[in-house]
Structure 1
Amino acid sequence: MPRGKKYTIKSPRKVAKKICGTSTKKAVKKTAKKSTPKTVSKKQVTKKKFTSRISNIIKRVNKNKKTFYSKKSKNKRVVKPYKSQQKKIDKSKFDKNFVVPTASQVERLVKKGRERGFLTEHEILALFDRLENYLDVYETFLEQMDRNSVAVVEVQQGGFLGNNYNNHRNNVMTGLQGDQPDVEVGLSFDLANISQDSIQMYLREIGKVPLLTADEEVSLAKRREKGDKNAERKMIEANLRLVVSIAKKFVGKSLSMLDLIQEGNIGLFRAVKKFDYRKGYKFSTYATWWIRQAITRSLADHSRTIRIPVHMVETINRLQQVSRHLLQDLGRDPTPEEIAAEMGEEIEKVKHIIKISQDTVSLETSVGDDEDDDTSLSDFIKDVKSISPSQVAGVELLKDYIKEAIKDLSPREKKILEMRFGLDDGVTHTLEEVGKEFGVTRERIRQIESKALDKIKDFDVIKKLRDY
């Protein structure tokens, strides 16, 4: 630097901006013009001297000052490592091309956990695969998990769900980004680790069918509209792997893997029949919704001993979520009135939902810890519909007394009393019905009935009937 002029360097950013802001040639000429005294010619300042001076200045500043403040934020300090530290950083841990999860992706994952009540570690790591780069986003996600009472479960490795993490990550990321899972990703796991032989054979068979291109899908859809059954069969067989990919996400509930695949195939059949190639979207995108609907409805139908409609299952899930939130806030079990106020529903409706959401218990459930004791729950519950032996005997005696009382009446009077009081089949008949049976008027039937009852009062057996 020239002696007559002093330079104050506040931060290395300003120096770098002077160098990188314009081309190298212009920066050299401009700096040389400022730093060269008037008595000295410009040609005497070379590019090498200028570069060496600037580099020396930067080195001295970096030694004394390790961090600096960004101009974009006055309150937030941005710490940047200098070059000597950047060489020591492991590039495998800090990927320059990482993508920060968006708010919509985080919300989808939280919603999925809220509906199921849990999330697997693989599902979380599939979205937050570079935690060290955005810890603040991950902390916000954990807070949402706590607020929604979503648990984190660990999937055992080597099973059907936990075999290949990378493929599972691709499926989860595709779903979180709003696109439908691609068919190519569906069956990229190792079949050797699957314990079920039937599933293994099925996956091998459907893996032999090649996937369809967009043009092939349109061509087969056109043929199907004309009634070509072979085209419909080809569309179904080529997308069976998509069903398996979606069914894996519902494993662990009330249905087995094979049942989930079968229910998903039913949804695939319906999607093939309703697919309209003129809309322009892929068939896999359209079929995914039908497959999911078929699986979720089947789970709702088979998850309980007593079937509950699908819309009521969703209402029950919402009630349980509200109950958990109120339990955390109040520190006790909420009342139906508090739940109704939180849900915005009527109290009677909330009580009805609570009643139908109860789980069934077998009457043969053993009571007590004694293994030798055969006492079951049914032994302590009174059956109000059952009739005791004494009541059965009393009813039979009453029938015998009535038959004895009317046996001395004329056949016509006996038949009229049996029809009027239901003594024969337990069904009572009106005067008009009995009159049509005998071909007389209502009034005549009433007179015959009254006369027959007066006769019975004089019989000796009537004393036995007074006890009833």
Structure 2
Amino acid sequence: MARVYNQEKVTKEFDTWLEWKEHGSREAEIALVEKFLPLVNKVAMRLSIGLPNNVDKDDLISYGRFGLLDALNKFDYKRGLQFETYAMWRIRGAMIDGLRENDWIPRTVRDKAKKIEEAYTHLEQHLLRSPTDEEVSQHLGVSEKELKQVMFDTSLSSMLSIDEAVGDEEEQKIARHSYLIDELIISPESAAELHNLKEVLIQTIDKLPEKERLVVTLFYFEELTLSEIAEVMSLSPSRISQLHSKAIFRLRNTLAKWKSQLM
């Protein structure tokens, strides 16, 4: 009985997509918006848990609504994929992009984060291993407490947005989600480059310190929030943010080296 009900539900939703996309039905469009609007609140709730108190949840919801509308417009209902999964990625990306565009992180904090990233790069090249917090602190002449605070303050800026463009400024910008589209045809060059990129990321993640590797896995692959990861690892959310930021610093450094070797 439940299976019949679910099938009828899927069929009805498909018909609604059909009415909007193929026949331009305004009523069908509104019905889809109202049906999936709760996703915005769901994503905002999950994302806001790991953010500083000065970030307004209403702002997240506002950014997320634009992400939902964008997802609705770009979604291909004919492929039989689940819209909720696709939409939540787009909504989350819109929220992160919105916060970045409003530059909620002070310039001084961004400058400090840049110096920390440079310090990790320099020390990794010099020591031929991942530096410790103590070594980075000594190199920069700051306390470990200050180092961890900067990493926490910039934790959101280290998160990747699925809509963020990649490539050099002079190149055509391509958003990250473009790489997630299941294209029927892909050139051998693109396939090889994506394969190599995946291999580089896998190897880099495997070499991360155990806690950083676990945070990356839980955050990006299991889609847990920072607070949920904190519960799993029995650590504070701020500590999880620091581990995430350090992992991203290391990944960026490796990807920069990989990219330079291709030129």
Structure in which a larger fraction of residues adopt helix: 2
> By the TM > 0.5 criterion, same fold?
no
- Indicate the structure whose relative CO is greater, using CA pairs within 8 Å and at least 6 residues apart: 2
* TM-score normalised by the chain length of structure 2: 0.40
* TM-score normalised by the chain length of structure 1: 0.23
